Structure 1
Amino acid sequence: MIANLSEKDEVLEHAVYVSNTLTMKYMITKDKLSEATGELIKELKKMKGIQSIIGVKQAGSVSQRLQAERNRRWGLEEQAELLCSEWQKEISRQYSDWHPFKPTIVNGVLEEVVMEDDEKLVAWKEDWGIEVHNAVVQALVELNECNPSGRYPVHVLWNFSENRKASVARAVKHLMKLWKADMGNYM
């Protein structure tokens, strides 16, 4: 029995070693991917004038354009920036403990879904209309997806044609395509 216990202890030690090694490799790979993503974002931000399907978006930012348009219609153009700032502050975790999400199983996967009956969301919808409500909900969803721990807006690679995050591989392919097209102009 002691031999069996000793053998299981060795197996457990080996499993812990393998787990620690894999965790360390995962962290190193994640850091390298994060660094590569940061470089891609930096380079794509320099290319602001170029209309592109892959670019950089500040995920989790309440759409200022939408609020400005809404406020212009109501004659509140001067308040657009202030209101947008207040909404952004409300949805950012650094300023608020508000978390209008509920865990729900969608297609067999546990996801956090926005609670449409949340008091603040209902009040915003009644006070400012569906466009503002949808902009706030979109910002909340993006924050929860792209930066759930800090819940403040972050720059992410974005596929504008599909309105979703872009993978690093897709962004690199797109950048290479733009670069090759640009190189053709100089040959």
Structure 2
Amino acid sequence: MCFAMLGLGAAAGTAGSTSLLGSLGTIASLGSSIIGGIAQYQNAMAQAAAYEASAEAAHKSAIQSLEESEDESDIRRRQGVSQIAKNKAILAAQGIDVSGEFAMDLLDDQRTILEEDTFAMRESGTRKGNAYEEEATNYRNMADSARSSAGIGLIGTLFSGFSSVGKRYASYAY
């Protein structure tokens, strides 16, 4: 009878340690889900921050492109006006009437070409700036998406962890 009681005591001890190990396993599983969810959230938020930084860089590039094209066209305009003045002086030095039809046509053609060049420079800078702004918008959209997926991913991971723990104890509820 003593041996029978020892056997029951050993069985109870084994059942108690099994229950303890099961509880520890459940806690570890739940903790793993929580840590995994937090890591996923932090990773998505870091990705969103990187996209925001890229968006800001693209926006700065757009502004720089516009400013550079304006500066370049202003320089080209000044050079062109100076060249037209020199050409007018050369025509006058050669005895050509600068108010005459020939000289006026020649100088007007030079002005037209100059205006077309400076306009093309500004248009090119505007197109490049618009492309950078579009890139910035795309980066901002990706950052918004990353932030959104961060929260959804965290919630999904937590639900998955709680679901797996719940499955273990579902049989005890009935």
For normalisation by structure 2, the TM-score amounts to 0.30
Between structure 1 and structure 2, the one with the greater Rg is 2
Determine which structure has the larger helix proportion and give its number: 2
Determine which structure has the larger strand proportion and give its number: 1
